[in-house]
Amino acid sequence: MAQKPAAKKALGDDPHFAQAVQNYEAGLRALQEHKYEKAKSLLQKVLSGPKEVVDRASVHLNTCNHHLERVSSQFKSPEEHFDFAVSLMNVGDYVGAREHIEKLLKQVPKADYVLYGLAALDCLTGHVEDALKHLDEAIRQNSSLRFQARNDSDFQNLAEDPRFTELLYPDPGAEMPADTSDSEV
């Protein structure tokens, strides 16, 4: 019986084992929080670790893969996927919403509605600079989003920011081409 505690102590002293356990525990927490991408990456790190942890990690990794496949195949279009991300924002799951919006950005990088949604999410999460940048990109893609943003409560944190006002109420002469009729020689 004296050898078993010594074996446990030897495993506990092994930095690779300790790192594997730490990744496993963090992956399990992420899995319980339904953060499947994060859980998957943490659990994959464990697979190169000691056998004592690898078996458990692979079971949880299969669970992550199952959920990720189900989520990715449940959307018929990018618009439907975006609606799901917005629903996550509306219930306050900003981390989940960001994961889905970032996936959408990879699928349809120039989609104005995705950029607009990212701007709203950035604003809601206090990333003012990013919100302004993404809103500007969205308005460049579709100028009618300027009018939508004027009444969107998601942007209330920016209401007093002069840069936000400039985006929504541009100088009328700024968008018009220069008049060349006065430059006759």
Q: What is the CATH number of the domain that holds 125?
A: 1.25.40.10
| Amino acid occupying residue 16 | H
Same domain, yes or no: 61 and 89? no
Residue 176 counted as domain residue: no
Q: Residue 12: is its pLDDT beyond 80?
A: no
Structural tokens at position 46: 């464990």
> Residue type at 25?
E
- Residue 163 shares a structural domain with residue 115: yes
Q: Which of 126, 123, 147, 150 is nearest to 134 (CA)?
A: 123
Distance CA 166, CA 69 (A): 42
The pLDDT of residue 174:
55
Q: How many domains does the chain have?
A: 2
Work out the average pLDDT over 84-91: 88
Are 19 and 67 found together in one domain? yes
Same domain, 113 and 64: no
Give the range of the structural domain holding residue 52, as residue numbers without chain letter.
3-73
pLDDT for the residue 67? 78
Query: In this structure, are 131 and 56 located in the same domain?
Result: no
Query: Given a cut of 70, is residue 11 above it in pLDDT?
Result: no
Element (H, E) at 63: helix 51-73
Residues 62 and 84 in one domain: no
92 and 146 fall within a common domain: yes
pTM of this structure:
0.58
Quickly count helices (H) and strands (E) in the chain: 10, 0
Domain endpoint, select from 43, 58, 73:
73
Same domain, 89 and 161: yes
pLDDT at 185: 41
Q: What is the pLDDT of residue 31?
A: 84
Classified as helix, coil or strand, 45 is helix
Radius of gyration, CA atoms only, the chain? 25
Residues 95, 67: one domain? no
Q: What's the pLDDT tens digit per position in 97-147?
A: 998 999 999 999 889 999 999 999 999 999 999 999 999 999 999 999 999
SS3 166: helix
126 phi and psi angles, rounded to 5 deg: 85, 15
